[in-house]
Amino acid sequence: MSKMVVLGLSGFNPELVEGWLEDLPNLRKMQEEGIWGKMESTVPPNIPQAWTCAQSSRNPGVFGFWDFRYRDEFSYGENKNIDCRIKDQRVDTLYKTLPMFGQKIAVVNVPVTWPPPRIPGGYSISSVLTPDLEKGFTWPKSLADEVQGLVGEYIIDVSEAGENYLQMGKDRVLKRSYEMDAQRFTLLRHFIGKKQCDYVCTVIMGADRVSHLFYRFFDEQHIRYDPDSQYGNVLHDYYVWIDQQIGETRDNLDEDTALFVHSDHSVQPLEGRINLNEWLIQEGYMVLSEYPSELIPFMELKVDWSKTRAWATGYSGQIYFNMKGREPEGIIDPGDYDGLLDELINKVKAIPGEKGNALETRVFKRNEIYTGTFADYAPDIFIFFDECRWKTNEMVGFGPDNMYSYDTPLGEDDGADGFYGYFCLAGPGIPAKGEYDAASLLDVAPTALDVMNLEIPQEMEGVSISGKERTPEEKEALVQERLKLLGY
């Protein structure tokens, strides 16, 4: 039976791969030997739900979160933190599905895996939401000693205790990113070779962090372009280093193992932020009982809910309506919902850039893109300003009519999360079909199962993009193997 390694590269940009491909010989070789292209992310393209969609092939309406926080009642704001327990109650990801087929698996740093999932006969190392190492970061617990024997003290994230990476010195972030990702690649190869796992999924976060901090130093079109030669090649060199690690990883794969490299979204140049709650206030959709004297987040605003029809939360263009019979102090009659929705969408699409230029804005209605048990708790609309090159800001206190900003209180940030990531799949049985232009994150899980010759659950929403071609004899053997796994 075939095996699969999934290498997740958070924030890896397909346009940068294309531009630097001559310097990325291992990805170039994979593209020549297999299938590659852009991979559509989720709406919005945020890390928690993007990786959950990839590993479950289910839309976020099934599991009910669109960022690091969520609501599962109709509260004002998203007031709960996600964790692995909530996710596993709501959706089956590959680390739950594959052991049922008798597969030995390992997951390393896959977002939303804290507390570390207890995988029968397998291994897990938790991800960015891990509060600290002392609270446990591996399953089984004894794996922690093995991990630290291999890589030293395990680095949870580039950010350190009490200090977000955007607030840290650039040189420190860069050094720590390399150290962190080197640990991940070491562990990836350990589970492939020493542990002989059938399926390994490891997510590399450094490319995302480095992109957000160093994009403006190489891109001459960036609104904050800084031709500082000290940092001009930082992002390029990071991509080259990752490519080298991919080459070393492929050298460790046997003839039965395929490699699926993919990102959850891209990081692209940030043009600025639209202060969405400030705009809602200006347009009369949100009413405050008191305007703040300093910048404060949505959850601290003194909102007059008896007069407020809509509010925004997060930094990804998410707007909720204040509905009668739904929110605690709802004022919008359900019969007026569709009309107000269309009215607001038309106004949002007319919002210009800071210099008055028209933006290419896309707006998605919740009830048109998401289904599932928790879809009703989602924002009513999601907004992509100028193909995500403009992010949004939930904070209020910039001053009357001040609709635009750039940095957040966390610090400088050069990058915006883009709607398309990158993927490349190569290995035994994968035909050299070249570029594929219809891939989605929802296709990752069914592709992995297909490559491993395992049954794809009917509830999965994506399709296999493996392009595997089988002889009649191979097809019959696959049928018999699946019947055997099912107990026949």
**CATH number of the domain where residue 168 is located:** 3.40.720.10
Give me the domain span that covers residue 466.
3-268+418-481
Per-residue pLDDT tens digits for 416-439: 999 999 999 999 999 999 999 999
Q: Which amino acid is at 174?
A: L
Does residue 219 sit within a domain?
Answer: yes
Q: Give the mean model confidence (pLDDT) for residues 105-134.
A: 96
In the predicted structure, residue 448 carries a pLDDT above the cut 50: yes
In the predicted structure, residue 480 carries a pLDDT above the cut 70: no
Mark whether 308 and 443 lie in a shared domain: no
Mark whether 246 and 308 lie in a shared domain: no
In the predicted structure, residue 482 carries a pLDDT above the cut 50: no
d(CA 83, CA 80): 10
Mark whether 279 and 364 lie in a shared domain: yes
In the predicted structure, residue 163 carries a pLDDT above the cut 90: no
Does residue 84 sit within a domain?
Answer: yes
In the predicted structure, residue 479 carries a pLDDT above the cut 90: no
Q: Of 338, 372, 405, which residue sits at a domain end? A: 405
Give the H or E element holding residue 243: helix 234-251
| pLDDT confidence band for 79 (50 / 70 / 90) | confident
| pLDDT confidence band for 407 (50 / 70 / 90) | confident
Mark whether 250 and 284 lie in a shared domain: no
| pLDDT confidence band for 473 (50 / 70 / 90) | low
- How many degrees, rounded to 5, is the angle at CA 199 between CA 455 and CA 424? 90
Per-residue pLDDT tens digits for 253-311: 999 999 999 999 999 999 999 999 999 999 999 999 999 999 999 999 999 999 999 99
In the predicted structure, residue 481 carries a pLDDT above the cut 80: no
In the predicted structure, residue 67 carries a pLDDT above the cut 80: yes
Q: Of 405, 432, 456, which residue sits at a domain end? A: 405
Per-residue pLDDT tens digits for 175-191: 999 999 999 999 999 99
In the predicted structure, residue 105 carries a pLDDT above the cut 70: yes
Give the H or E element holding residue 99: helix 94-100
Question: Quick one: pLDDT at residue 159?
Answer: 84
With pLDDT > 90 as the criterion, what percentage of the chain qualifies?
87
Question: Quick one: pLDDT at residue 487?
Answer: 42
Does residue 411 sit within a domain?
Answer: no
d(CA 441, CA 423): 10
Per-residue pLDDT tens digits for 296-349: 999 999 999 999 999 999 888 999 999 999 999 999 999 999 999 999 999 999
| pLDDT confidence band for 401 (50 / 70 / 90) | confident
| pTM across the whole model | 0.94
Mark whether 18 and 164 lie in a shared domain: yes
Mark whether 179 and 255 lie in a shared domain: yes
Per-chain mean pLDDT for the chain:
93
Mark whether 19 and 132 lie in a shared domain: yes
CA dihedral 455→461→465→469, nearest 10 degrees, is 40
d(CA 226, CA 245): 29
In the predicted structure, residue 471 carries a pLDDT above the cut 70: no
> Looking at per-residue confidence, does 31 or 160 come out higher?
31
116 preceded by a cis bond (ω within 30 of 0): no
Length of the chain: 488
Per-residue pLDDT tens digits for 237-254: 999 999 999 999 999 999
Question: Quick one: pLDDT at residue 477?
Answer: 58
Mark whether 153 and 193 lie in a shared domain: yes
Residue 395 β-bridge partners: none
In the predicted structure, residue 475 carries a pLDDT above the cut 80: no
| pLDDT confidence band for 486 (50 / 70 / 90) | very low
With pLDDT > 70 as the criterion, what percentage of the chain qualifies?
96
Q: Give the mean model confidence (pLDDT) for residues 74-79.
A: 92
Mark whether 362 and 443 lie in a shared domain: no
In the predicted structure, residue 66 carries a pLDDT above the cut 50: yes
Q: Of 405, 431, 454, which residue sits at a domain end? A: 405
What is the number of structural domains in the chain?
2
d(CA 221, CA 85): 43
Q: Which residue has the tokens 């398309």?
A: 420
DSSP 378: S
Q: Are 324 and 308 in contact (CB under 8 A)?
A: no
Does residue 486 sit within a domain?
Answer: no
Mark whether 187 and 304 lie in a shared domain: no
Question: Quick one: pLDDT at residue 472?
Answer: 63
In the predicted structure, residue 70 carries a pLDDT above the cut 50: yes
d(CA 198, CA 292): 55
Mark whether 364 and 462 lie in a shared domain: no
Question: Quick one: pLDDT at residue 107?
Answer: 98
Mark whether 308 and 244 lie in a shared domain: no
Q: Are 269 and 412 in contact (CB under 8 A)?
A: no
In the predicted structure, residue 350 carries a pLDDT above the cut 60: yes
Q: Are 52 and 60 in contact (CB under 8 A)?
A: yes
Does residue 488 sit within a domain?
Answer: no
Question: Quick one: pLDDT at residue 488?
Answer: 40
Give the H or E element holding residue 422: strand 420-426
